[in-house]
Amino acid sequence: MSTAKGLDLTLKVWRQKNQNDKGRMETYQVSDISPDSSFLEMMDILNEQLIEEGKEPVAFDHDCREGICGSCSMFINGRAHGPGKRVTTCQLHMRQFEDGDTIHIEPWRATAFPVIKDLVVDRSSFDRVMAAGGFISVNTSGNTQDANAIPVEKEDADNSFAAATCIGCGACVASCKNASAMLFVSAKVSQFALLPQGQVEAQDRVLNMVHQMDLEGFGNCTNTGACEAECPKGISLENIARMNREYLSAGITSEK
């Protein structure tokens, strides 16, 4: 928590009024940004400045600012969530930048994520993939069996948890040259595939989710690994391998 001198920066920001607008980069200057500020606090300062100048502030998605809700979604200097590993835009701090830097800020770019305005994109395609099968069909009764009735091997529980930490931000899609959503979908498929509770519908789940993923216009996986490298939660490529196994075996054995 230093109180070093602030940073003066040049920002090149994507501005796009709405889905039909063509959009363009615009240049702004901000000065005396505390290195202890987060990237989004820097954006707040830019917006205050724009409002003061009678201009429209930059629209961007953000909410929890703790790296967990998955709202924030900026493509910074050519990387999803900017420099650094395992970090969301909201947890990126200005000490990562140097005084005098020029920073390029763009929205996620993918057919399945159309731009709504400026840096805000529509990720409802993820919701639709979830609605196609991202669940275990158990009603809320309170009369399920006792939580400790089925022991789950610690390693399986841990791996299931690791897959379940996906925040659904879409950085994987934005980083992928094919705009593939395989990492996102496979994380959910894996979470349930690794647990005994998820076995019953495992085949339907993977077939339905993959089908919906294709309908939404996401690209295919060509094993580049950019998604894993840029994922703020470190979701592993192994999940994609697991999903492929699940998908293949479901395709062979499913009666549907």
Partner 1 sequence: MSVLDSRIPEGPLADKWTNHKNNIRLVNPANKRLIDVIVVGTGLAGGSASATLAELGYNVKAFCYQDSPRRAHSIAAQGGINAAKNYQGDGDSVYRLFYDTVKGGDYRSREANVYRLAEVSTNIIDQCVAQGVPFARDYGGLLDNRSFGGVQVSRTFYAKGQTGQQLLLGCYSAMSRQIGKGKIQMYNRHEFMDLVIVDGKARGIIARNLVTGEVERHSAHAVVIASGGYGNVFFLSTNAMGSNASAAWKVHKRGAFFANPCFTQIHPTCIPQHGDQQSKLTLMSESLRNDGRIWVPKKKEDAEAVRAGKLKPTNIKEEDRDYYLERRYPSFGNLVPRDVASRAAKERCDAGYGVGTNETGEAVFLDFASAIERYGREEANVRGIHNASDSEIKKLGEETVEKKYGNLFQMYELITGDNPYKTPMKIYPAVHYTMGGVWVDYNLMTTIPGCYAIGEANFSDHGANRLGASALMQGLADGYFVLPYTIGDYLADDIRTGAIPTDTPEFDEAEKAVKDRINTLINNKGSKSVDHFHKRLGKVMWNKVGMARNEQGLKEAIEEIRQIREEFWKEVNVPGSADELNQELEKALRVADFLELGELFARDALERNESCGGHFREEYQTEEGEAVRDDENYTFVSAWEYKGEPSEAVMRREALNYENIELKTRSYK
Site for partner 1 in 33-52 (CB under 8 A): 33-34, 36-38, 40-41, 44-45, 48, 51-52
95 is an interface residue for partner 1 by CB under 8 A: yes
**Residues binding partner 1: what is the number (CB under 8 A)?**
81
Residues 133-152 that bind partner 1 (CB under 8 A): 133-142, 144-148, 151-152
238 is an interface residue for partner 1 by CB under 8 A: no
192 is an interface residue for partner 1 by CB under 8 A: yes
165 is an interface residue for partner 1 by CB under 8 A: yes
Residues 101-120 that bind partner 1 (CB under 8 A): 116-117, 120
C-beta separation of 89 from 73 below 8 A: yes
214 is an interface residue for partner 1 by CB under 8 A: no
Nearer to partner 1, 152 or 229 (CB): 152
160 is an interface residue for partner 1 by CB under 8 A: yes
Q: CB within 8 A of 144, min separation 6: which ones?
A: 138
17 is an interface residue for partner 1 by CB under 8 A: yes
C-beta separation of 35 from 7 below 8 A: yes
Q: Rounded distance, CA 172 to CA 239, Å?
A: 13
**Shortest spacing between CB 93 and partner 1, in angstroms:** 7
Q: Rounded distance, CA 116 to CA 21, Å?
A: 10
**Shortest spacing between CB 229 and partner 1, in angstroms:** 17
Q: Give me 218's structure tokens.
A: 């996401």
**Shortest spacing between CB 252 and partner 1, in angstroms:** 25
Q: Rounded distance, CA 182 to CA 179, Å?
A: 9
Segment contacting partner 1 by CB under 8 A, of 102-110, 164-172, 219-227, 241-249: 164-172
Q: Rounded distance, CA 12 to CA 160, Å?
A: 40
In angstroms, the Cα distances linking 137 to 140, 186, 188, 192 are 10, 18, 14, 11
Nearest alpha-carbon partner for 182 in 124, 133, 226 = 226
Tell me if residue 25 falls in helix, strand or coil.
strand
**Shortest spacing between CB 215 and partner 1, in angstroms:** 13
Tell me if residue 191 falls in helix, strand or coil.
helix
Nearer to partner 1, 95 or 220 (CB): 95
The correct pick among 130, 178, 228, 229 for binding partner 1 (CB under 8 A) is 130
